[in-house]
Amino acid sequence: MKEKLYTMELTDAVKAGDECLFCWLERKLEQENLEFVLGSSYMEGDIREETSIKGFCRHHTKMMYDYGNSLGNAWIMKSRLEYVNREWKKQMAQDMPGKKAGFFSRLGKSGDTKTQEAVSTAEAWIRLEEKHCYVCSRMKKIYGRMLDTFVYLLKAEPEFGRLLMESKGFCLPHFADILHVCYEKLKPEEQQVWIPKLRQLMETNLDRVQEDIDWMIEKYDYRNQDADWKQSRDALQRTMQKLVGSHPADPVFKCQK
Ligand SMILES: [Zn+2]
Ligand SMILES: [Zn+2]
């Protein structure tokens, strides 16, 4: 079976006017996944089994709490805790001083990733449990297909390319993914056309956001208090997004029912 292409989603995203069309897609995807997890899927045995084994990262656990549906959350967490309690007993029975436990990576004080050796098998197990998340893994799969769709549209749909060049481009992290997939999946002659265009799109929009945040600071000068805000009213959140991705000014995502 041919894998799904997300042409409609990508076309909506490129028209959305966001600082990054992939941030826009990611937000939509994340919200849809949260609705799925806390909709009624948790009452289905196979899904509950998967959420119990995979668990949730800190970011998505917080989003789940904020979303609401305390009873749904409680069911999911109850099963996850039962799984952890069962595993705990197995792991602790094996945990002995001096037993080789393997390596894990963590963020050091200076923000760089360090590889460290776990001091015990129990530590190694907990470190591993922290690494997987049901929502992250669902999103990752679809995100990969969205990147493939992006390349497909560049090749097949001139109209998409035109809309893209009129868009505000990408945030830095998503642009890295775009470069990666373009070098991986475009033919050399297609790369020669698209890579310079994409770089130019990024550069133009980084300059635009720079101007906006510069003017936002100027506006705080009393001499400029009557001057026009221009595009700078929301320059702070847009600069944050350009630099690291996501939408810092978003309200928490809550259950609408
Ligand atoms: Zn982005
Ligand atoms: Zn997650």
Reported as a single tens digit per residue, the pLDDT across 118-161 is: 778 888 889 899 999 999 999 999 999 999 999 999 999 999 99
Are 144 and 209 found together in one domain?
Answer: yes
Residue 253 lies in a domain: no
Residue 169 lies in a domain: yes
Residue 36 Cα distances to 111, 156, 171, angstroms = 34, 32, 27
Distance from residue 214's CA to the centre of ligand 1 (Å): 21
Question: Which domain does 116 fall in, by range?
Answer: 100-126
- Amino acid at the residue 227: A
Residue 165 lies in a domain: yes
Are 108 and 157 found together in one domain?
Answer: no
Q: Nearest 5 degrees, angle CA 5-CA 6-CA 11?
A: 135
Distance from residue 34's CA to the centre of ligand 2 (Å): 10
Are 183 and 226 found together in one domain?
Answer: yes
Are 210 and 139 found together in one domain?
Answer: yes
Residue 251 lies in a domain: no
Distance from residue 197's CA to the centre of ligand 1 (Å): 18
CB-proximal residues (5 Å) to ion ligand 1: 20, 22-23, 171, 174, 245
**Where does the pLDDT of residue 188 fall: very low under 50, low under 70, confident under 90, or very high at 90 and above?**
very high
Domain total for the chain? 2
Distance from residue 48's CA to the centre of ligand 1 (Å): 31
Residue 191 lies in a domain: yes
Distance from residue 242's CA to the centre of ligand 1 (Å): 7
Are 118 and 22 found together in one domain?
Answer: no
Each residue of 100-132: b (16+ CB within 10 Å) or e? ebeebeeeeeeeeeeeeebebbbbbbbbeeeee
In this predicted structure, the answer to whether residue 2 has a pLDDT above a threshold of 70 is no
pLDDT of residue 106: 66
Distance from residue 59's CA to the centre of ligand 2 (Å): 6
Residue 225 lies in a domain: yes
Are 122 and 143 found together in one domain?
Answer: no
